Chains A and B, each alone.
Chain A
Amino acid sequence: MFSFLKKIFFRGDPTQRQRFVFNVEELRSTFKARYHSFKLLLNANNKALEIMADIEQFLPGERPFGMSFIRASCTALSVNVFRIIQNLNELAPDKYRELYGRFRDIEGSINQILSRRRLPKGDRLVISLREINGEMADETGNKMAGLGEVKNRLRISTPEGFVITALAYQRFFTHNDLQTEIDRRLQSSSAEQIDHLYALSAGIQQLIIRSDIPPDLEQAIMEAYRDLERQVGGGITVSLRSSALAEDSAGTSFAGQYRSELNVSAENIMQAYREVVASKYSLPAMAYRLNRGIRDEDIDMCVGCMVMIDALAGGVTYSRNPLDMRDGSISINSVWGLPKSVVDGSGASDLFVVSRDNMDVIKKEIGNKEYKFVCYPEEGVCRLDMAGEKASSPSLTDDQAQELARIAMKIEEYYGFPQDIEWGISHDDSIYILQSRPLKQFDTGEKDFEGAKEPLNGESLIISGGITASAGVSCGPVFIVKRDMDTLQFPEGAVLVTPSPLPRWAALLSRAQAVVTEEGSFAGHLATVAREFNVPALFGIPGATDKLRNGDLITVDAEGRKIYKGRVEALLVQSGHKKRFMEGSPVYGILKEVSRYIVPLNLLDPDAPDFKPQKCRTLHDITRFSHEKAVWEMFSFGKEHHFSERASKQLLTDVPMQFWVIDLDDGFRDEAKGKHVKLENISSVPMLALWEGMTAIPWRGPPPVNAKGFLSVLHEATTNPALDPSTRSSYAIRNYFMISKNFCSLHSRFGFHFSIVEALVSERAIENYISFQFKGGAADYQRKARRAFFVGRILEEFGFRIEVKEDALFSRVEGVEEGFMKERLRIIGYLIIHTRQLDMIMLDDASISSQKEKIMNDLYSIIKDSRG
C-alpha cells in the first residue's frame, strides 16, 4: 500500500496527473483507506488524551491508586501513541519516521522506571534471632530486626526464635512462579472496588496456601526448628508472625494487616508459614497498600518463628500517649492470658498509666475481663470464659506495671522514638517482649472548642462517653457492620458502626468518615490504622449498634466523646481535612516520575520552528504533533492532488460568510457537481449540528466597546503580523469543514479569531468526542486571556473539560451518546460566532456579566429548540 500511495503522491508529471482523472475508482479506494487511517489516528489520539487526563487526575495524590493502574495506563497510552505514529506514517508514507525514534526513547525511559526492582539481600534462608540486629531489616523485615535489636543489643528478654528471610520468600514465590499469576490477577480486576477486592484477595491467598515449599527451604526451616528445640529443651511449640519488608517503616504501620499463627506444633510449621505469607494478600493488607501507595512487589514477607510463651498475662504498652504529644506518661493495656484480645481490640482490658517522672501508677482502670486466650497443651489457642473475682481483678501487679514501664522507656530511649510494645508474662513471672515498633503520635491541636457547646442543643446529643481511639470530628450516615458480608455494601462516606474493632475492618477505613464501636481500647490495631488515616474513632460505646440505625445522619466528635444527631456544622468547621495519603509513597513517586515523560506539553505553537519530531519530549508532544500533521495531511491530499471530484467545494448558504467543505468519505448525500455544495446535500451529523448552532441566532455585531478596548484592538492589529489576515501563514486562511458522515473538523478564522472544532459523533457512544480550541483575538494579552477563561467557564457548565494556556482555550468532552454530543456542538457553533469580539469588553466587569447572561439565555434556548 505504501508503494501505491507513493505513486499517487508523485506529482509534476502530467501523464500521472491525467491518471487521477480517469481512475476515479482507484482514488476513491485510496481516499477511503486514508480516511480509515485518519479515523484510527483520531481514535487513538482521543484515547491517549483520555488516559493522560486520567493520569493527571491522580497526580494531586488525593485518591488511592496502585501499580496496576500505572502499568495499565502506561501500556494503553504507549500502544495508542504508537498507533498514532503508525497511522500518520500511513497517511504520509514514511514522512514522519523520526517519530518512531523519539517514541522509542520516551517509552524506554518509562519502561525503565516501571521495571525497577529491588533485589533481595543476603544469602540465608533462615537466621537465628540471636544473630539479628536492626541493620538487617532488608533480610528479616523490620519487626524481627527490631526484636533482634531489643534482644541482642538491649539485652531485654524475648522468646528464642529465628526468621524465615526475604530470600526464602523469593525462593518460595519463584519456585511456584507465583508473582506472574498474581500480577495477572491483580491486573484483571478492578482493585479499586471493594467487592472485587474480596474475591481477588481470597483467590490469591488460596493460590499461595496450595503452593509447594521448595525442599531446600523446608529443610532449612526444620533444621532451624530443631536447633531451637536444643536451645530451649524439647517439646516446644512456636508462634509464626509476619515481619514484612516495609512493615512498621516510617509512617506506615500495617498494624494487624497480616496474620499471626500462635502455638503451632512441628508438623504444622509449613502450613502456618504458607498462611502467614498468604496474608500479604489479606483484604486489609491489599486495601492498605492501595491506599498508602505501596508497591506490591516491594513487600517481601519474612516470617518470625519464635518459641510460644503461654502467657499468664499479656498486653500492649505505649511509651507515650499517642493522642497527646504533651502527655509523656506510659500506658499499659493488659489482660489475663495471651495478649491477643488487646491486640485485636476485642473484649475488656485493664489500663495502667505510669508517670514518667516518678514511676508512680497514676491511673488504674480494671475492666471486667469476661474471657481470656490460653494455649492448648498440644497446639492452638482457645478462649476461656472467666467468671467471678478473677475476671474483675487486676491482671498486673503495680510492680509489674512499673517494670513494663521501665522496659518501655529503655526501648524508647534507645530508639529515640515512642514505642508500641507487645509483651507476655510467663508462668514463672518473666516478662518477654514479643514485638516493639514505633508509635506514631498525633497532635490533636488546640483543645478549646470555643463556643462549640453553645450552638448544640441538648436534643441532638444521642450518645456521650466511650474512649477516643482517634481524634477528630466527622459526619455521615450510619452503616452497621457485623459480618464480612456487610462490608460489601459499605457506602463511601458512611460512619462505620460495629460491635468490636476487628483489624479486618481496616479495609473500610479509606471510605469511612468515622468509626464507632461497642468495645475496644485505643491500643488495638484498628485504632492505630484509624489514627494513621485520620479517621475519627470513638470506641467503647455499649449498645451502639442498637442505638444507631442504618442511614441515620450523625456527627461523631471522637475527642469530645459525643455523638450528635444530624450534621453539626459548628463542630465540623474545626476539624481538619483528610490527608493526602499517596503523597510521598513509592507508588506515587513512580506515577510522578513516569508522568514527566507523559503529561507536559512542549509543542504549543504549530507555526513555531520548534514544532517538529525532534522536539517531542513527551508522549503528549508526540500526540499533539501527530494530530496537527494528520489534519494537515488529510487536508492537503484533497487540495494538492487536483482530485477534482473530492477537492473543496464552497458551501452555498444565505449566510454572509464563506465556507469550504472537503468530503473525506461519505459526508455528501449525493455527489456534488461543480464548485459548490448545498447544505441539503450535507449528511455529516456533527457538521449539521455545528451549523445549526452557528446560524441559530443572528450575530448582532460586536458589543459596544469603550474607547480603551478599541485602541487595544488597533494596537495589536498593527503590531502583530500573525494577526494580519493577508499573511499566508497556514491553511487556516479560509474556513474549512472536513467531513464524513460521522466526523467533522472545522478550522475557522473570523477576523482575528482562530478556532478549531473536531468531532466524531455516531451511535458508538464510547468513540464520540468533541474537541474545541479557541485562540487569538485582537485585543491585548490580558483581555485575550480573560476571554479564554470566560468561554471556558461557559463550556464547563455544559460538561466540557477545559484547560486554558495563555490566551488559548482547549476543551473536550467525550464518550457520551449522540443526542448530547449534538447539543454540545450547537453550543460551540453559537460560541464561535458570538464570542469573536468579546475580548474587547473583557476588562469591563459590568458588561461581562450582562454578556454572560445573554449568552447563557441564548444557549439554553438553542438546546430547548432542538429538543422541542
Chain B
Amino acid sequence: MESIRLLLVDDEEDFRTTLASRLKRRNIDVTDVGSGNEAIELIRERSFDVAVLDIKMPGMDGIETLKHLKKIAPLVEVILLTGHGSVEAGIEGMRLGAYDYLMKPYNVKDLLLKVEDAYRRKLLEESQQRTQQRT
C-alpha cells in the first residue's frame, strides 16, 4: 500500500504534533494544521485521502469544517474526534458524511485501524467511479 495522505486538524498543538509524529512513524504522510480555515485552504491546493478533524475547535468547528471539506473534496474520508460525548454531534457528523467518529481518549492503534479502513473505502469509491465513467 502506498502511504496514506492524511490531514490532521486540531487546535490543541501538543496533542496534534505528538499524534502527527506517531502517525508518521507508521509511514503515514501526515500534514497537520491548527484550524478549520487552514484545513479548507490546504484541501483546495492538495489532495488528501483521509482527514482527521477535532469537533471542538475555536472559530470554524469540526462539523463546519466537515461540511466545507466534503463540498470541495467529496472523496476524502473524514474521521471526527471529540472529547465530549454528545449523541447529537456524533450523529450530525455521520449524517454529513463523516466516515467514523472516535471519542477521546482513544489509543493510536484504534485510530490507525480506522484510518486504514477509511483509506480502503476511498480506493473502492474511486475504482467504482472509474468503472462507472467507462461504462
Which A residues have a C-beta under 8 Å from some C-beta of B?
Answer: 1, 4, 23, 25-26, 29-30, 32-33, 36, 40, 68, 71-76, 78-79, 82-83, 86, 107, 110-111, 114, 180, 183-185, 187-190, 764, 766-767
Q: For A23, A78, A189, A766, which residue has the most chain B Cβ atoms within 10 angstroms? A: A78
The answer to whether B88 has its CB under 8 Å from any CB of chain A is yes
| B87 interface neighbour in A83, A114, A188, Cβ under 8 Å | A114
User: Nearest A residue to B106 by beta-carbon distance?
Assistant: A188
A32 touches B85 (CB 8 A): no
Distance of A83 Cα from B113 Cα, bound (Å): 16
Q: Which residues of A contact B88 (CB under 8 A)?
A: 111
B117 touches A40 (CB 8 A): yes
Known contacts A36-B121, A75-B86, A187-B104; A23/B135 CB under 8 A: yes
The answer to whether B60 has its CB under 8 Å from any CB of chain A is no
User: Nearest A residue to B105 by beta-carbon distance?
Assistant: A188
Known contacts A72-B85, A188-B83; A82/B124 CB under 8 A: no
A25 touches B105 (CB 8 A): no
A26 touches B83 (CB 8 A): no
Closest chain-A Cβ to B6's Cβ sits at a distance in Å of 19
Q: For A74, A79, A189, which residue has the most chain B Cβ atoms within 10 angstroms? A: A79
Known contacts A83-B94, A184-B84; A766/B113 CB under 8 A: yes
B120 touches A79 (CB 8 A): no
B120 touches A76 (CB 8 A): no
Q: Is the interface of B mostly helix, strand, loop or mixed?
A: helix
B124 touches A36 (CB 8 A): yes
Binds A, one of B19-27, B65-73, B126-134: B126-134
| A75 interface neighbour in B90, B113, B117, Cβ under 8 Å | B90
The answer to whether B91 has its CB under 8 Å from any CB of chain A is yes
The answer to whether B125 has its CB under 8 Å from any CB of chain A is yes
A71 touches B85 (CB 8 A): yes
B100 touches A78 (CB 8 A): no
A26 touches B86 (CB 8 A): no
Q: Which residues of A contact B89 (CB under 8 A)?
A: 75
Q: Which residues of B contact A767 (CB under 8 A)?
A: 113
The 8 A-B pairs with the shortest beta carbon distances in the complex, nearest first, are A71-B85, A75-B85, A72-B85, A79-B90, A188-B83, A184-B83, A79-B101, A187-B84
> In residues 104-125 of chain B, which contact A (Cβ within 8 Å)?
104-105, 109-110, 113, 117, 120-121, 124-125
| A78 interface neighbour in B83, B87, B110, Cβ under 8 Å | B87
Known contacts A36-B120, A78-B91, A766-B110; A25/B84 CB under 8 A: no
The answer to whether B5 has its CB under 8 Å from any CB of chain A is no
Closest chain-A Cβ to B94's Cβ sits at a distance in Å of 5
Q: Which residues of A contact B132 (CB under 8 A)?
A: 4
B87 touches A33 (CB 8 A): no
The answer to whether B16 has its CB under 8 Å from any CB of chain A is no
Q: Which residues of B contact A184 (CB under 8 A)?
A: 56, 83-84
B interface, how many residues as a size bin? 20 to 34
Q: Which residues of A contact B127 (CB under 8 A)?
A: 29, 32
Distance of A86 Cα from B95 Cα, bound (Å): 9
Distance of A188 Cα from B83 Cα, bound (Å): 5
Known contacts A110-B87, A184-B83, A187-B84; A26/B131 CB under 8 A: yes
Closest chain-B Cβ to A481's Cβ sits at a distance in Å of 28
User: Given A68-B85, A82-B91, 14 other A-B contacts at CB below 8 A?
Assistant: A23-B135, A32-B124, A36-B120, A36-B124, A72-B85, A76-B85, A76-B103, A79-B94, A82-B95, A107-B87, A111-B88, A180-B84, A188-B104, A766-B110
Closest chain-A Cβ to B105's Cβ sits at a distance in Å of 6
Q: List 7 A-B contacts (CB under 8 A).
A: A72-B85, A76-B103, A82-B90, A82-B91, A107-B87, A185-B83, A187-B104
Q: Which residues of A contact B104 (CB under 8 A)?
A: 187-188
Known contacts A190-B105, A766-B113; A74/B128 CB under 8 A: no
| A189 interface neighbour in B56, B105, B109, B125, Cβ under 8 Å | B105
Which B residues have a C-beta under 8 Å from some C-beta of A?
Answer: 56, 83-91, 94-95, 100-101, 103-105, 109-110, 113, 117, 120-121, 124-125, 127-128, 131-132, 135
User: Nearest B residue to A26 by beta-carbon distance?
Assistant: B131
Distance of A31 Cα from B88 Cα, bound (Å): 33
Q: Which residues of A contact B84 (CB under 8 A)?
A: 71, 180, 183-184, 187-188
Q: Which residues of A contact B131 (CB under 8 A)?
A: 25-26, 29
Closest chain-B Cβ to A640's Cβ sits at a distance in Å of 21
Q: Which residues of B contact A1 (CB under 8 A)?
A: 125, 128
Q: Which residues of B contact A72 (CB under 8 A)?
A: 85, 103
User: Nearest B residue to A71 by beta-carbon distance?
Assistant: B85
B87 touches A4 (CB 8 A): no
Distance of A107 Cα from B86 Cα, bound (Å): 12
Distance of A32 Cα from B84 Cα, bound (Å): 35
| B94 interface neighbour in A68, A73, A82, A183, Cβ under 8 Å | A82
Distance of A78 Cα from B82 Cα, bound (Å): 15
User: Nearest B residue to A110 by beta-carbon distance?
Assistant: B87
Q: Which residues of A contact B109 (CB under 8 A)?
A: 766
Q: Which residues of A contact B86 (CB under 8 A)?
A: 71, 75
Closest chain-A Cβ to B52's Cβ sits at a distance in Å of 16
Known contacts A74-B85, A74-B87, A107-B91; A30/B128 CB under 8 A: yes
Q: Which residues of A contact B135 (CB under 8 A)?
A: 23, 26
Closest chain-A Cβ to B62's Cβ sits at a distance in Å of 13
B90 touches A4 (CB 8 A): no
Q: Which residues of B contact A180 (CB under 8 A)?
A: 84
Closest chain-B Cβ to A354's Cβ sits at a distance in Å of 53
B128 touches A33 (CB 8 A): yes
Closest chain-A Cβ to B56's Cβ sits at a distance in Å of 7
User: Nearest B residue to A100 by beta-carbon distance?
Assistant: B95
Q: Which residues of B contact A29 (CB under 8 A)?
A: 124, 127-128, 131
User: Nearest B residue to A764 by beta-carbon distance?
Assistant: B113
Closest chain-B Cβ to A4's Cβ sits at a distance in Å of 5
Closest chain-B Cβ to A371's Cβ sits at a distance in Å of 45
Q: For B83, B84, B90, B105, which residue has the most chain A Cβ atoms within 10 angstroms? A: B84
Distance of A71 Cα from B82 Cα, bound (Å): 12
Q: Which residues of A contact B110 (CB under 8 A)?
A: 766
Distance of A185 Cα from B56 Cα, bound (Å): 13
Closest chain-A Cβ to B91's Cβ sits at a distance in Å of 6
| B90 interface neighbour in A40, A78, A86, Cβ under 8 Å | A78
Distance of A180 Cα from B89 Cα, bound (Å): 14
Distance of A71 Cα from B104 Cα, bound (Å): 13
Distance of A68 Cα from B83 Cα, bound (Å): 11
Distance of A107 Cα from B94 Cα, bound (Å): 14
User: Nearest A residue to B121 by beta-carbon distance?
Assistant: A36
Q: Which residues of B contact A114 (CB under 8 A)?
A: 87
Closest chain-A Cβ to B63's Cβ sits at a distance in Å of 14
A75 touches B87 (CB 8 A): yes
Closest chain-A Cβ to B128's Cβ sits at a distance in Å of 6
B121 touches A75 (CB 8 A): no
Distance of A184 Cα from B33 Cα, bound (Å): 21
Q: Which residues of B contact A110 (CB under 8 A)?
A: 87
Distance of A767 Cα from B109 Cα, bound (Å): 12
Closest chain-B Cβ to A529's Cβ sits at a distance in Å of 29
Distance of A40 Cα from B56 Cα, bound (Å): 26
Distance of A517 Cα from B132 Cα, bound (Å): 77
Distance of A40 Cα from B124 Cα, bound (Å): 13
Q: Which residues of A contact B95 (CB under 8 A)?
A: 82
Q: For A29, A75, A107, A114, which residue has the most chain B Cβ atoms within 10 angstroms? A: A75
Distance of A192 Cα from B105 Cα, bound (Å): 13
Distance of A326 Cα from B128 Cα, bound (Å): 81
Q: Which residues of B contact A25 (CB under 8 A)?
A: 131
Distance of A114 Cα from B84 Cα, bound (Å): 13
Distance of A25 Cα from B131 Cα, bound (Å): 8
Distance of A32 Cα from B117 Cα, bound (Å): 13
Q: For B90, B95, B100, B125, which residue has the most chain A Cβ atoms within 10 angstroms? A: B90
Closest chain-A Cβ to B112's Cβ sits at a distance in Å of 10
Distance of A426 Cα from B31 Cα, bound (Å): 69
Distance of A33 Cα from B89 Cα, bound (Å): 27
Distance of A111 Cα from B85 Cα, bound (Å): 12
Distance of A183 Cα from B91 Cα, bound (Å): 19
Closest chain-B Cβ to A97's Cβ sits at a distance in Å of 14
